[in-house]
Every structure is written in C-alpha cells, then in structure tokens.
Amino acid sequence: MRAGIPNPKSRERTITLYLDKDEFRAALSMSDEEHIYVLLFDRQGEELWRARGSHDQNKESGLLEVLRLANQSSAG
C-alpha cells in the first residue's frame, strides 16, 4: 500500500482490508461510509464501546472510561 498511502506515519496506523465492504459494514452495524466509526471489542469479540462521527470530548471521555473499567477488571 505504499503507493496508496505514501506517508510513512499514516501507513503505521493504517490497516488495509481486502473484503466485501457491504458484508463487513452489515456485520458491524455500520450504516454508512460517510462517517468514521470507532469500535472497541474485548478478546472474546464482545463490543465494549462504539462511536460514529467526528471526535468530541464526550466520545473521548466515554472511551477512556470504558478502557479504565476494562483495565480494572483485568487487573483484579
């Protein structure tokens, strides 16, 4: 994907998937391609958190709280 993503820093945080996009979006309940989706799953595949759209402080706080709780439960 060097040609498609020429910036090395961007390539470091990019995952390229070769799959049926409609099936992928349906399986993850992602209704469109016009928005960014962020999903957090545990090791068993259970969805712990999701957000759609641009970053905002509420989404960030929600994700950080879920990560904090997940870290507590795995440590104890």
pLDDT in tens, 17-72: 899 999 999 999 999 999 999 999 998 999 999 999 999 999 999 999 999 999 89
Residue 12, H or E segment: helix 8-12
Distance CA 43, CA 48 (A): 10
pTM: 0.75
